[in-house]
Every structure is written in C-alpha cells, then in structure tokens.
Structure 1
Amino acid sequence: MAKKNSQAEFVKWFGPLLDALRELGDSGKPREVSNKIAETLNLSDEVLDETLKSGGNKFHNQVAWARQYLVWEGLLDSSKHGTWKLTDKGKESTLTEHEARDVFLKWVDFHRKAREEKGRSQVIKDQEGNTPEEYEKESSPELLEVLQKLSPSGFEKVCRELLREHGFENVVVTGASHDGGIDGYGTLEINPFVSFKVLFQCKRYKGTVSRAQVGDFRNAMIGRAEKGIILTTGTFSNDSIKEANRDGAPQIELVDGQKLIEMFEKVELGVSPRTVYEVNLHYFKSFMD
C-alpha cells in the first residue's frame, strides 16, 4: 500500500466536509463547502494555493474526492446538480480520522475488485491525480488539456466565442497589442435600458494567477470599464480572489479552469453531450462481499 503521507491525503477532509455541510444548513455549493472547511480549520494560503500537475487546485480536488467517498458511503446525496447535500444518515454522522480511513479503505478495496488488474496503490494513485468525474471517464479527452494546448491568440479567440455564447455583444480581441494587459472587450446588456462595457484578460497556462496580476489588470481597466473578467485554464491564488473582491475597487470576475469547462459545457461550445449509464457501485457492493 502507498505511504500514508504521500497518498490519499483527501481522507482528512471526510469529517470536516460533513461538519461544513451541517454549518451551511445541510447543503451547499462545492466552493462554499471548500471555503467553509478552509475558514473553520484556518488553512494557510500555501495549502489553498497548491496545484495538481494538471493545473487544477489540489485542495478543492481533494475535497471533491472526499465528497465522492461520502456519496459511496451513503452520507451525501449523489445528485449531479451542483449542490452537495447530506442524506438523513449523513446528518447524524460524524467521522474521526480513524473512521474516515476505514471508510476510505473499504471503498478503495471495492474499486480494486471492480478493476482487478489494478492494485490498491494504483487505484489510489489514479484517484489522487484526477477529479472524481475524470476518474469515471478516464478514457475521454479532457477539454482543459485541449484549451491549454491552444496558442495564446487562439485561446483569446475561443474566449471571445465563449463570451458571445454567454450573451456578450460586440466582443473584440485586441490582438497582439496587449493593451495594458487587456486582451479584449465586449458589451453585456442587463436589460433593454442598462448595458455596460466589460474588459477581459485570457491566461492560457497551468499555473496560478497571483494577486499582483489581478491588481495589474484592475489598474489597466480603471477609467475604461466598470467590470473586468480574467479567464484562465489554471487557478487563482487565495490572495488573488481577495484582491478581485476588494471593497472600494472595481470588481473583477474570476473564471478558473473548472468554471471555464462548465461555461463551455453549458452552451455546448466545442463539446458534444453524450448519454452514458453510470454504474451505481453502492447497489452492487452487497453482491461482491
């Protein structure tokens, strides 16, 4: 089995995730839950900003995996509608670190039996490096990887198309001029009487956008627009999120890799929906004992 300190770090979030959902009224959006855990445990920016090799945020991915195991255990609802919710069993449950590890090992062994060609350590490794959704469809091409392979100008242009599909008008990419960090602009109409100009910046890479980069973008947009958007295939540091929402300064919307994928899927831009049947592992478990 893999070493405890190098594999399956997400087990430590099992109990805090249950506690966070109870504090949120038994349900919450994924980021709300992660933020509540971070707030309650006073997690450092170093933990919150760590990234995976794929460029995704490691902490949020670990919390997502903790949620997946709790779904398999019947403590969380399996709904795919973007809200995590405690089941009746989950409302009454708490997990110590020891109990969490027992739950984890039970389901790792179950998946190992379902994938007999893989040992326990390989199953854990596969999970650690992917999101729960990626693990279930590991043979599918990843949209984020495709976006990261585009040229910088190509990514700017596809972001232009994405904004158009989401209701923006007169969207223009400024091209090679890189006007003070501004990659483009567009108009968003709120209603027939109100519309405003929005500036946007596109960052096609696997890294983390820093607070300084958000500040530089805001400085470039002051006096030119009331709203700004930064779209990246990477992630945003905890400090950059605080900077984007700083009181008294123009607000900046942050779109990270995960949200970017959701935006593409919502309007089916460059992606095609497919119907699949997901195996309900909880149902079959009793027949494998």
Structure 2
Amino acid sequence: MAKRNKQAEFVKWFGPLLDALRDLGYSGKPREVSDKIAKELKLDDDFLDQTLKSGTNKFHNQVAWARQYMTWEGLLDSSVRGTWKLTEKGKNTHLTYNEAHQLFLKWVEINQIARKNKTEKEVIIEQEETDPDTVKINAENNLLSVLQSLSPSGFERVCKELLREHGFENVEVTGKSHDGGIDGYGILEINPFVSFKVLFQCKRYQGSVSRSQVGDFRNAMIGRAEKGIIITTGTFTNSAENEASRDGAPKIELVDGKKLVQMFEKVQLGVKPKTVYEVDLQYFTKFKD
C-alpha cells in the first residue's frame, strides 16, 4: 500500500487526455474523449469493463479524474458544462508520465491541505474510488487553508488579483523588503473626481495580527498614501482593531480571514458556485401506498 500512497492509476491518462482532445479538435464530450483514448491506446475489453464498488465504470472514472487535474492546472476549461475543452495553454502542452506524476503530486498536496481531515493516502484512495463531482472542497471551511499553503509571494499576488476584481486599478506588488511591511499599492476610484492611493499589507497568518503590527504599518504609510489595508488569513486582536480606527490617525482597513473568504466568493475568484439538490421526502410520501 505504500506505493499507492505516491501515485494513482489515473495519472497515466493525463497525457493521452490532452492528445485525445487535440485529435478531436480541442473539445469533446466526456464519453467521446474516453473512447478516443481507449481506441488510440488499444485498451482491451477486460480492462474497459472493470467497475468500482459503486458500479461506476473504472476507466471512465479515471479519465474524469485526469480531466479534473487538467482543469486545476489550467489546461482544460471548466466553464462549459458537459463538454471538455482545451485552453490555449492546454493546446500546447504535452505531458510525459514523469511530468504528469509531478503535476499529480502538486495537486494532491493542495487537496490534502484543503481537506484537513484527510491524509495524502486517503485523498488518493478517495479519488480512485469516487466520481470527481462527489468530492467537494468547501470554500467556507477550506479556502483559508489553501491560501495559507501558498508561498508568501504567491499570497501577495493572489491578493493583488483580489483587489483588482474589487475595483482597484494599477495594483502592483512591490516585493521590497525593509519597506515597513508594505507589500503593494493600488488606486481606488470613488467617482470620476475622487480617487485614493491605497497601500496594502498581506499577512499569511493562522494567528492574530497585533496592535503593534497595525501601528508599524500605519507609520510606514504616512505621507505615502491616503489609505491602508491589512489583509490576513488569520484574525486581529481587539487592540489591533482599536488601533486601526484610532481617532486622530489615518484609518487602516482590516480584512480578516472570514471577510477574505467573503471577498473571494463575491467575485468568484478561485471558487466556483455549486447547486446542491436535496431530496424532498415529503413529495414522495404520496407514492408509498
């Protein structure tokens, strides 16, 4: 079982999936793509007829998982339901098995972090035994874990995109050290006559931002911008909140982890809405007799 912990059978379909979609004119229906792979690789009927415990066809389920990984990697477009379509990046990507395996390990780690109650081994086994659509990564519980798993510079860059989506213009990450904790800046236009330069600081925390950290950021921004924002995946202490709104000092806007998730959800950045159906048991009671 140790070997299974580091690989999954569906990894071998990553490259063939891209090849099949190229042959089909860059898009195709799920079953059409699976059949194309089976035909090109001359897979035998005994293999193609295998099923999972749930009764789902094993091969088609594996190809569906390959498609899910390609979507996470940005090689397939997930916006069109019922059709698998290559992105521009996907059209020009050819994967060897070793390259596919490295891509697989990267996304297994991200899934493991996003689903804190699952080990890497459990994530892989779950993916081998279930349909991709049944495995949910809920933003409310897990987006912060994903954000906390990013590199410091990666978190700064995703905050840059988030600010852009919320109306900021000319947003830049400075990437400078010893700059008083200022990670970037942007322009927020209130109306055609009024706009502000805003400095921001990104703190990829699990704990709380302190009063002194808010004060240090304010001192660094005075004379350089009209507004400041501190964005964190963690929380702010009460004294930090009081310091941010202290009378007589430039106000600092605070974005904690809960508010950060709401901001991602509002513009659907890095998260996708899902429609969940619940069985109406009352409706079916009249058919029991």
TM-score by length of 1: 0.48
Per chain length, whose mean CA-contact separation is higher, i.e. which structure has more relative contact order (CA < 8 Å, sep 6+)? Answer: 1
Kindly name which structure, 1 or 2, has the bigger radius of gyration based on alpha carbons: 2
TM-score by length of 2: 0.48
